[in-house]
Structure formats: C-alpha cells, structure tokens
Amino acid sequence: MNFGASRLLSGLTVLLALVLGWELLSHIVTAKGSYDEPLIPGWDYLIGNSLLRMSDYWGGGFGVPAPSEGGPPTYAAALLALGQASLVTFERVGLGTVFGVLGGIGLGLLVASSDAARRLIAPTVHIIRMTPFLAMIPLFNLWFGANTFGIILFVAYGIAVIMFIGTINAVRNVPKVYLERAATVGANRATIFRHVVLPAIFPEIRASFLLSFGLSWSLVVGGELLGAQSGLGVIVTYALQFAYTGRVMIIAFLFVIYAGLSFALFDAVSRRIIIWHPQVEKKPVAAQARRRSVRGTRPAGGISQ
C-alpha cells in the first residue's frame, strides 16, 4: 500500500471513530435542554429532526413549498434553506476576505516603504490590533448597520489587521543581500519593489494568511450572530434562542466543511505561484510543475560540476 492510500485510510478510521464515539456519547448523556432538545443529539436525531427542520428557514420557491405556509418539512426545503443561507454568507466572507487582504497588504507595504506613512499609520494599527475583534462587532453594527455591507466591512477589518502585521514582518525579513544585489545593477526603488520585495515577501504573506485562515469564517459568524437578517449565523442565532443543539451542530459542520474546502483551494492555487520556493518541493503539486520546468534538460542532481 502506498503512502497516500494509507494516509487516507487512517483519516477515514479517525472520522469513523469520531462518528461512533459521538453516537455512543449521545446514549450515555441523555440530558435535555430547556425546549426538550437533547444536549447531545445522536445521528438519527441530527438527520431526522435537526436537518429536516432546517426547512423552517425556507421561504418558498423553486416549486418547493415552505413549511411556514403550511406545507410539511422536507429535506429539499431544508437543503435549499441551507444553500441559500450559505450563499449569503459566502458573499460576505469572500468579499470581506478579498478587501481585507488587499487593504492589509497595501497598508503594510505603504508603512514598510515610507517613514512618513509609518509614523502616521503604524501606531493606530497597533492600537487596533490589541482590540479583540469580537468587541468591535457592536461598533460595526452601529456604524454600518447589521447588514451585508457592515459584515463585509467587519470581516475585511479583521483580516486586514492580520495581513498588515504579516506584511510588515515579511518586508522586514527580506534578505538584505537581495536588495543590495538589485541596487548594484542599477535598480531604482520601484524596480526593487516590483522585482525583489514583492516576490520575496509572497511566501511569508501566504503563510500568515493560511495560519489565520479560519479567522474569516469566525469573523463572518460573529458579524452575523448579532442582528443580521440572513445567512448561516442567523440560523445559529434562532437555534440558540430555542436551545436547538442539533441545528447549531449542523451549521458548525457546514463551517468545518467550508473552511476546509476554502483552505485546500487557496493552498493549491497559491502553491503554484511559489513553485520556486525550496519548501514547496516535497509536495506532489510542486513536483509535477518542477518536472515541467526542467523538461528537456537533465535532472538537476545529474549535472556534474
């Protein structure tokens, strides 16, 4: 059995153990919450009740009647409701992350390249960075409203702070010898910035983005929990009011899946950009591209001095 298959097998084993362990726990802990919902709902309850009742949030359309209009709860309505709420949340997390990344990197580069900008911007950002993100939600609510615009801004703000710090550190860590080499061949500041600083900082910026990847999803849920009218966070808010543990868990599962998929997507795409980086070599994606890059030549190890 090769390495990849054995890794997949052990992963599936762990997953199966978790699923079975949860089921076991639900039979041991049978306590119920205030609205007669089990605190640890088993799988039959999660799928037969919690998931099905997600159809409560379906407003009708696509030929699937909404239970609020008198129809029975259906899985079709439940999945449509989850899909609709997911799309709303995707828009917020996606736009917020993009704006946050661009804003944070832009501000970081500005501060790193200009003394005046550093004196103006850096102290403010360092104060903001000490403020807990969640403590700022009410403020964003009051300023911009508990709507899509306000939540996008909130996500962008949180991501921008992280990316700002990451960018400043990355610029500081660019080896001096690269800058000196560029200077000795006559490069001006703009050329050095474009051909040396930007490529040199990319791996570190990518790393800080990957490390804080779950943050976007946390921020969007935080933003939606307080007063939004749509999105996955709203379902959690309602579920919390009626102690629907199962529904909270279903949304939590969704977030795990979404965060994992978006992480994998970004990792795969950004890995291609830093194909040159020594640490990328071991990964299969990089190895394929490497073979392409030296096609028609002998492998590097075989070239003698």
The residues of the shown chain that bind another protein, judged by CB under 8 A, are 175, 177-178, 180-187, 191, 195-196, 199-200, 202, 274-278, 281, 290, 293-294, 296-298, 300, 303, 305
In angstroms, what is the minimal distance from the CB of 187 to another protein?
Answer: 5
In angstroms, what is the minimal distance from the CB of 212 to another protein?
Answer: 24
In angstroms, what is the minimal distance from the CB of 269 to another protein?
Answer: 17
Q: Which two tokens stand for residue 197?
A: 């600083």
Nearer to another protein, 116 or 303 (CB): 303
Long-range pairs for 80-87: beta carbons < 8 A, 24 or more residues apart: 81/54, 81/55, 81/56, 81/57, 81/235, 82/54, 82/57, 82/232, 82/250, 82/254, 84/57, 84/58, 85/57, 85/230, 85/231, 85/232, 85/234, 85/235, 86/232, 86/254, 86/258
In angstroms, what is the minimal distance from the CB of 174 to another protein?
Answer: 11
Name the DSSP class of 72.
Answer: P
Residue 64 bridge partners (DSSP): 61
Give CA–CA dist 236/39, Å, rounded.
15
Nearer to another protein, 68 or 191 (CB): 191
Nearer to another protein, 128 or 274 (CB): 274
In angstroms, what is the minimal distance from the CB of 198 to another protein?
Answer: 9
Nearer to another protein, 81 or 201 (CB): 201
In angstroms, what is the minimal distance from the CB of 133 to another protein?
Answer: 33
Nearer to another protein, 98 or 187 (CB): 187
Q: Which two tokens stand for residue 289?
A: 């591209």
Nearer to another protein, 32 or 181 (CB): 181
CB proximity list for 235: less than 8 A, separation 6 or greater: 54, 57, 81, 85, 247, 251
Nearer to another protein, 52 or 289 (CB): 289
Give CA–CA dist 268/263, Å, rounded.
9
Q: Which two tokens stand for residue 8?
A: 């997949």
In angstroms, what is the minimal distance from the CB of 188 to another protein?
Answer: 8
The label of the residue with tokens 């704006």 reads 99
In angstroms, what is the minimal distance from the CB of 186 to another protein?
Answer: 4
Nearer to another protein, 198 or 254 (CB): 198
Burial of 90 (0-12, 13-18, 19+ CB in 10 A): middle
Name the DSSP class of 274.
Answer: T
